[in-house]
Homo-oligomer: A and B are copies of this chain.
Amino acid sequence: MNLTAFSKNELTAFYEDCKKTYADYQAQNLKLDMSRGKPSPKQLDLSSGLLTCLSNEDLLGEAGDYRNYGLLDGIPEAKRLFAPMLGVQPEELFIFGNASLQAMYMAVSYAYTHGLLGNTPWHQLETVRFLCPVPGYDRHFRITEHFGIEMINIPMNEDGPDMDMIEKLVTEDASIKGIWCVPQYSNPSGIVYSDEVVKRLAALEPAAPDFRIFWDNAYCIHHLCDNPKTVLPILEEAKKQHHENNVYIFASTAKVTHAGAGVSMLAASQENLKDLTKALSTFTISFDKINQMRHVKYFDGKFENVLAHMEKHRALLAPKFRVVLDTLNAEIRPLGIGEWSEPKGGYFVSFNAPTNCAKRIVELCKNAGVVLTGAGAAFPYGKDPEDRNIRIAPSYPEVDELQKAMDLFVLCVKMAAAEKLLNT
């Protein structure tokens, strides 16, 4: 029965019951962290071989001695290995250091301080705006906020962000300089952008000459199902429209090998790469080519080996997503007090509670020892206008711990929903 159909007495009894169970949880002194999309120790163990796979001889690569300075844009072996992951040509790739976030920061920073392809530096403009499909990735929003960029929420549909709204805004308003996108298994809602959405994004005719799609394909090979739906290669689509300069693509092996010690990359048109190199060649002599080669060696230079490696991640992750979805289906669906994504890949389940309940749920969980991502974190400025969204990150805890955390979570959802109904 839907919770809204409960009588006042039934609701009070329901709430009192919940409170008793909650007290039991508090007595257990749980200490679980589900705040970030961190791989579990077992996932990290999958890449142990990476630590010792390199020998000195491997570092005499086809473009020289990778133990020495040089090759700012990365080693050719790594470009060839990862180009298919991003759906680009090797020469469209620039291999960075240990985190794709750094590449995104550098791109925004360069636009702010110097301007893109000769356009006015953003710091000289009255207003610079970015479109932010929501819910989205908090660290994206933090970069744009850091540079004083005004963020506009864009609602997400089942197949990607609201394209009608995006087309209208981008073509009419020259202060709109960019959009953050996580096209494959978007963070946190797990949505995969449809071919139509990608084609419409690639065909955008922006009012701003320096508009960029920040295409963070962080989960491009992070599937949890057979025959996954994949996203059209946006740079190819943009080329067809002669809009290849509108796109920056980002990816990394952070959730393929070791988190924070992988290889990250940026793909873009030749013109964009040459432009960004003005900043990057000042920023550094080169990135860590030894780690690039370590990855090439570990995967024997073959992208199919990377994909095979991802199957091992899937085997560890899929049961955890199952726990989350099964628990929500069993406990929340009958009561009608929440909606959630059923992602086919990526790292998150996006949960929407009844309006004005998210913060309370996070608080209740925290007071019983389970740390979730802060309510609102998936929105620009940390402000969820309806206080509904919670990002569930099931990857890190082991299955039994996760089950405990989810049991507590659904209990807290019930309590928050009941409190709201009792108080209205």
Contacts and interface: CB of A to CB of B under 8 A. Distances in A.
Interface stretch (A194-202, A255-263, A381-389): A255-263
B146 A279 contact: yes
Interface in A113-164: 113-114, 123, 139, 142-143, 146-147
B38 A258 contact: no
A44 B69 contact: no
A110 to B, nearest CB: 10
Interface in A338-362: none
A260 B71 CA distance: 10
Contact of A113 (B70, B97, B147, B287): B147
Contacts of A41: 65, 67-68
A284 interface: yes
Contact of A39 (B51, B68, B261): B68
A219 interface: no
Contacts of A113: 109, 112-113, 123, 147
Interface string A162-174: 0000000000000
A56 B41 CA distance: 10
A56 B51 contact: yes
Interface in A81-131: 97-99, 101-102, 105, 109, 112-114, 123
Given A56-B45, A123-B123, A282 B68 contact: no
Interface stretch (A175-183, A227-235, A268-276, A288-296): A288-296
Nearest to A147: B113
Interface string A274-317: 00001100111111111100000000000000000000000000
A291 to B, nearest CB: 7
Nearest to A146: B282
A41 B59 CA distance: 11
B261 A291 contact: yes
A51 B258 CA distance: 16
A263 to B, nearest CB: 10
A55 interface: yes
Given A259-B68, A261-B289, A288-B260, A282 B54 contact: no
Contact of A67 (B44, B105, B283, B287): B44
Contacts of A69: 36, 38, 254, 259-260
Interface in A235-253: none
Contacts of A254: 69
B143 A282 contact: yes
A39 to B, nearest CB: 7
15 contacts: A44-B67, A67-B259, A67-B261, A68-B259, A99-B287, A101-B284, A102-B283, A109-B109, A139-B282, A260-B288, A260-B289, A260-B290, A261-B289, A261-B291, A291-B291
Interface of A: 36, 38-39, 41, 44-45, 47-48, 51-52, 54-56, 65-70, 97-99, 101-102, 105, 109, 112-114, 123, 139, 142-143, 146-147, 254, 258-261, 278-279, 282-291
